[in-house]
């Protein structure tokens, strides 16, 4: 995954390596374990997240479902990005530059329909509340 982030004429590029560990492994996660990441349940939740984010903050939404085996397989990897030094290096002590969220398609039909999440996992990348890119699948 490549994340591009521009702010005040400064562009950061973060390369996130593909998942390791072999096919079907979860890198230590358990399906059904509580998520470390905040979950958005509605467009109002997303609106608050965008409003609270610093200007230029990259917001990544992962659309997922408990019944999606690929989603479960990458869950630990995606949640681990929140602690990844490459991601953290984009933020300062006072300003977060990357915010990761999860959206359960079965709990959040309005967000699911708004972004047209018909295949999972779906990653939607937003900057200042505007969609800048999408990624479908885990490869």
Q: Which of 19, 61, 65, 68 is catalytic?
A: 68
Give the helix/strand (H/E) hosting 49.
Answer: helix 43-52
68 is catalytic: yes
Q: Which of 71, 87, 117, 124 is catalytic?
A: 71
71 is catalytic: yes
How many CB atoms are closer than 10 A to CB 34? 5
Q: Which residues are catalytic?
A: 68, 71
């Amino acid at each position: 995954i490549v994340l591009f982030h521009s702010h005040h004429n400064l562009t950061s590029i973060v390369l996130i390596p593909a998942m390791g560990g072999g096919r079907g492994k979860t890198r230590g996660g358990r399906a059904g374990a509580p998520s470390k990441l905040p979950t958005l349940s509605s467009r109002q939740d997303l609106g608050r997240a965008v409003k609270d984010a610093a200007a230029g903050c990259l917001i990544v939404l992962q659309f997922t479902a408990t019944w999606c085996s690929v989603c479960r397989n990458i869950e630990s990897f995606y949640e681990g990005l929140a602690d990844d030094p490459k991601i953290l290096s984009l933020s300062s002590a006072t300003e977060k530059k990357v915010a990761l969220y999860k959206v359960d398609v079965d709990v959040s039909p309005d967000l699911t329909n708004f972004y047209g999440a018909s295949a999972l996992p779906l990653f939607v990348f937003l900057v200042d509340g505007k969609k800048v890119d999408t990624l479908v699948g885990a490869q």
